[in-house]
Structure 1
Amino acid sequence: MTTHRHDWYTSEGYDGGLHHCKKCKLSSQGERIATPCPVSDAEHHAVAWLGQAGLYPTRFDAVRNFEQSIRPVSANELFELASKQVLSQLNEGRQHA
């Protein structure tokens, strides 16, 4: 079971308000639901998804490509992966020259 917290915002302030989770899109009238959020902060802020076959722009794309294990990638991680790839390609080019 997950222990992630919901990221609530409130609209319609009457009758206790209508609360929405920015991460899982759950809505609750009146009191905010106390159950854990199924979406982690990392998943919510992911800019890409990394699977066995490589990077995917969305989780859906990874699943559609039958990836069994994927993980969210942050903007910083994506930059690091891209930098390593570029350095690798530059080094490979120098070896062939």
Structure 2
Amino acid sequence: MSTHKHHWETVDPYDGGLHICKKCKLSSQGERLATPCPISDAEHRAVAWLGQAGLYGTRLEAVRNGEQSITPVSFALLFELASNQVLSQLNEGRHRG
């Protein structure tokens, strides 16, 4: 069971307020629901998704490619992966020339 917390935003402050979770889009009138959110913070902030066959721009793209297990990739991790790839290619070019 998920233990992720909702990221509530109040969009209408009247009559107890209308609250909408920015992650899963669940809405609640009056009191904010105490139920867990199905989406983790990492999934919500993901800029890419990493699967067995490679990196995908969206979760849907990964699923359409038949990926069974995907991991959310943050901006920091994506930058690190790209930097490592560039350094690897630069080092490979030095050894050839």
TM (normalized to structure 2)? Answer: 0.95
TM (normalized to structure 1)? Answer: 0.95
In 2, Cα distance between the equivalents of 1:89 and 1:64? 30
Question: C-alpha displacement at 1:12, in angstroms?
Answer: 1.6
In 2, Cα distance between the equivalents of 1:14 and 1:70? 40
Instruction: State the 4+ residue runs in structure 1 displaced beyond 4 angstroms.
Output: none
- For the aligned residues, what is the CA RMSD? 0.8
SS at match of 1:6: coil
Q: Find the counterpart in structure 2 of residue 11 from structure 1.
A: 11
Q: Find the counterpart in structure 1 of residue 90 from structure 2.
A: 90
Cα deviation code 1:10-36 (max 9, x no counterpart): 122121111100000000111111100
Q: Find the counterpart in structure 1 of residue 32 from structure 2.
A: 32
1:46 pairs with 2:46: yes
Question: C-alpha displacement at 1:67, in angstroms?
Answer: 0.7
In 2, Cα distance between the equivalents of 1:67 and 1:93? 33
SS at match of 1:93: helix
In structure 1, stretches of 5+ residues that fail to align are none
- The one-letter code sitting in structure 2 at the alignment partner of 1:24 is C
In structure 2, stretches of 5+ residues that fail to align are none
In 2, Cα distance between the equivalents of 1:82 and 1:11? 38
Aligned length: 97
SS at match of 1:69: coil
In 2, Cα distance between the equivalents of 1:53 and 1:90? 24
In 2, Cα distance between the equivalents of 1:60 and 1:93? 35
